[in-house]
Structure 1
Amino acid sequence: MAASVAALAAWHGCACANDYPSRPIRLVIPYAAGAAGDQIGRPWADRAASLLGPIYVENLGGAGGAVGSAVVAQSAPDGYSLLLGNGSTQVMIPLSSARTAYDPIRDFRAIYRLITSTLAFVVNPSLPVRDMQELAAYVKNNPGKVSYGTPGVGTGNHLVGEMFRRQSGTEADIVHIPYRGIAAATNDLVSGEIPAMIAVVSSNLVQLHRAGKLHMLAVTSRNRLSGAPEIPTVIEAGMPDLSYAGWFGLFAPKATPDEIVNRISAATRSAMADPSLQETYRSQGMEPDADSSPDKFQRLVEDELRRLAPIIKSIGLKRD
């Protein structure tokens, strides 16, 4: 009897996979609307819709991305609920929290890495600093008076902030303020509610920088951005240990059939070959990945989990 049930379940899964997709696909972006996730997920959804059918985007922000990620982890593994995950949701949050509502390996399958990205140290123009060394000196001279915003505790932004604190000798001097999303932090930075933030580089951020509404001190990539070459790197700023590369990509619930995962991956590869989509990402300071796959992306996630676990432990970011 058990064998018959298993066989029936396997047949049903195969039938669904062969029929996929037969209805709209939901892409969950685990951040508030207007953040960098929208500038990555929505262009993909628009382009991939011509290959997969209707795709609608749902912003489910909170807990640095953990809320939306948990929703997808608990969704039916049928290919109709996908996550736009990143290094924060799939690596940083699981490693830094003992009570995350999902496990990045047990609960998800990697599908395709869409882009690599970089973070930026950004300040309100009223803060009297114009480079990273001046920022470190100002924080030291004004202990406890400088705060920086991020999308949440345990995110890659937070990790870089902790690394800055330790490497600049300002451990007790700068205050971390976690937000539900970087859009809210950006609004507070522009209005002067907070003096600094660490954010994923986006076209919106670059536009605000060029308009003089905020000032980008440095980016964490190893090279200057082709879309914003005027902004120095942390290496040029004399803080090479702050180099950090981020990424965003597609994930599905763990039990999603191979046929469906491969179908989404193949459609995404075709979408990412579109020069207009590539330019959309590059114009925002991101690098599109035209050669990803489920296996490559899965290995990347597993490698980063192994690499960052001891770093997170060493800086005391692990929390209950």
Structure 2
Amino acid sequence: MTQFAWPSFEPALMHFARMKSGVTAVLAKPTLLCAIVAIACAAGGIASSQTFPNRPIRLVVGFAPAGPADVMARLIGQHLTSILGQGIVIDNRPGAGGTIGARAVAESDPDGYTLLLGNTSTLVISPLIYKNVNYDPVKGFAPIAALGTTSNLLIVNPALPVKSVQELIALARAHPGKLNYASAGIGTPPHLIGEMFKQRLNLDVVHVPYKGGGPSVAATVAGETQFSFENPASSLPLVEAGRVRALASTSDRRSSQMPDVPTMIEAGIADFTSVSFTGVVAPAGTPGAIVDRLNAAINASLQSPEIAGTLVKLGVDAKISSPQEFAAFLGAERDKWAAVIKAAGVRAE
């Protein structure tokens, strides 16, 4: 263990003994004691940062095992274990859109040993649509690092007579209130992307929420709904099989897996981008040195060939970021979706 050289307090004692400012001894003694305590606390913080981590780290996931968030947590956890020299324990706490796990982390000690695998739901959307999440997504956490982002595909049932985004827009305008789109549920990214699509283009289309991404995609395949904004991991195989047609991606650039599919911007809708993100945060108040240590370890993990290759298969774009860059990204995402949610009047059921 690294030994910390405690500073000598003798110079401070000599200084206070020589004070001739008229401060009485009764006041000087408590003042000196406070100074000594402050120095000792700072020294202890430095020492703990230098030895971090010296025991296993708990990574809380607010979703069930085997889901996308859990897969990401275990993938990153394995590499962090080898880099940090301590085990990463995955703690699944599903429920309420991920807010149960997020609250548990926000209320934990800010020592770096309890972290949250946060995402668009837990750190942005859920606090905006649920009445009582019992944590502040801004003041409750210290951003550490982004892990990756996933765009969505605008897909349509192949029987729909459209082959481009502009043709879909024209059809919707010609038949107001007749087209509908599926989502994985109220407040999910596919729902809010659809709302943003409606708002930007002033369209009258109907939202049909389903219980999960699987039923949502199946509804578009079966023709129950005409279109939806889906995760590439679930929709790309259907596109390749001809069971749905992909019109555009919500990313800011074309995917290497779908080079022939334009972005929404290329399809003629200015500034229309949307990504779902995953990242790691700690409780607010976690020492900066520990945040930086974790950030460096996460970024190193993301650059490993094994993780990079796996993320591509999952349809995830790895994102290298500093804590400050991740914090700025979170702020921009909250501002964007808060405006969409307010305009649509979205509230969780």
TM-score by length of 1: 0.78
Q: Percent of pairs identical after alignment?
A: 34
Which of 274, 284, 293 lines up with 2:304 in the alignment?
A: 274
Determine if the alignment matches structure 1 residue 305 to structure 2 residue 337: no
* In structure 1, C-alpha distance between the alignment counterparts of 2:238 and 2:90, rounded to whole Å: 25
**Aligned residue number for residue 148 of structure 1:** 182
* In structure 2, C-alpha distance between the alignment counterparts of 1:151 and 1:77, rounded to whole Å: 34
SS in 1 for 2:144: strand
**Aligned residue number for residue 82 of structure 2:** 50
Q: Which moved more, 1:293-302 or 1:62-71?
A: 62-71
SS in 1 for 2:152: strand
Q: Deviations over 1:21-75 (max 9, x none)?
A: 3443332333444544345433222222211332243444444433432332233
How many residues are treated as equivalent by the alignment?
314
**Aligned residue number for residue 25 of structure 1:** 57
1:307 positional shift: 5.3
**Aligned residue number for residue 226 of structure 1:** 256
Q: Deviations over 1:75-118 (max 9, x none)?
A: 33332332222344323333444533221111111001122331
Q: Is the 8 A contact 2:57 2:89 kept in 1?
A: yes
Determine if the alignment matches structure 1 residue 117 to structure 2 residue 164: no
**Aligned residue number for residue 259 of structure 1:** 289
* In structure 2, C-alpha distance between the alignment counterparts of 1:37 and 1:144, rounded to whole Å: 35
Letter in 1 for 2:116: L
**Aligned residue number for residue 198 of structure 1:** 229
* In structure 2, C-alpha distance between the alignment counterparts of 1:117 and 1:246, rounded to whole Å: 5
Letter in 1 for 2:182: Y
Letter in 1 for 2:105: V
Determine if the alignment matches structure 1 residue 73 to structure 2 residue 103: no
Q: Deviations over 1:134-171 (max 9, x none)?
A: 54456564836734113541x44333111122234434
Letter in 1 for 2:104: V
* In structure 2, C-alpha distance between the alignment counterparts of 1:194 and 1:8, rounded to whole Å: 64
Q: Is the 8 A contact 2:149 2:319 kept in 1?
A: yes
CA gap of 1:26–1:217, structure 2 versus 1, over 3 A, is farther
Q: Provide the alpha-carbon RMSD of the alignment.
A: 3.7
Q: Is the 8 A contact 2:64 2:92 kept in 1?
A: yes
Determine if the alignment matches structure 1 residue 177 to structure 2 residue 209: yes
TM-score by length of 2: 0.72
Q: Is the 8 A contact 2:106 2:282 kept in 1?
A: yes
* In structure 1, C-alpha distance between the alignment counterparts of 2:75 and 2:235, rounded to whole Å: 18
CA gap of 1:189–1:8, structure 2 versus 1, over 3 A, is farther
Q: Is the 8 A contact 2:153 2:250 kept in 1?
A: yes
* In structure 1, C-alpha distance between the alignment counterparts of 2:156 and 2:90, rounded to whole Å: 31
* In structure 2, C-alpha distance between the alignment counterparts of 1:311 and 1:74, rounded to whole Å: 29
Letter in 2 for 1:110: P
* In structure 2, C-alpha distance between the alignment counterparts of 1:317 and 1:93, rounded to whole Å: 14
Q: Is the 8 A contact 1:98 1:318 kept in 2?
A: no
SS in 2 for 1:217: strand
* In structure 2, C-alpha distance between the alignment counterparts of 1:75 and 1:95, rounded to whole Å: 22
1:264 positional shift: 1.2
Which of 277, 292, 298 lines up with 1:247 in the alignment?
A: 277
Which structure: larger Rg?
A: 2
* In structure 2, C-alpha distance between the alignment counterparts of 1:37 and 1:213, rounded to whole Å: 27
CA gap of 1:82–1:124, structure 2 versus 1, over 3 A, is farther
- In the alignment, structure 2 segments of 5+ residues that lack a partner are 1-29
Q: Is the 8 A contact 2:57 2:88 kept in 1?
A: yes
Q: Is the 8 A contact 1:149 1:185 kept in 2?
A: yes
Which of 118, 126, 133 lines up with 1:100 in the alignment?
A: 133
* In structure 1, C-alpha distance between the alignment counterparts of 2:72 and 2:258, rounded to whole Å: 18
Alignment of 1:56-67 (within 5 A): 56-67=89-100
- Higher RCO (C-alpha 8 Å, min separation 6): 1
Letter in 1 for 2:52: Y
SS in 2 for 1:240: coil
* In structure 2, C-alpha distance between the alignment counterparts of 1:58 and 1:197, rounded to whole Å: 32
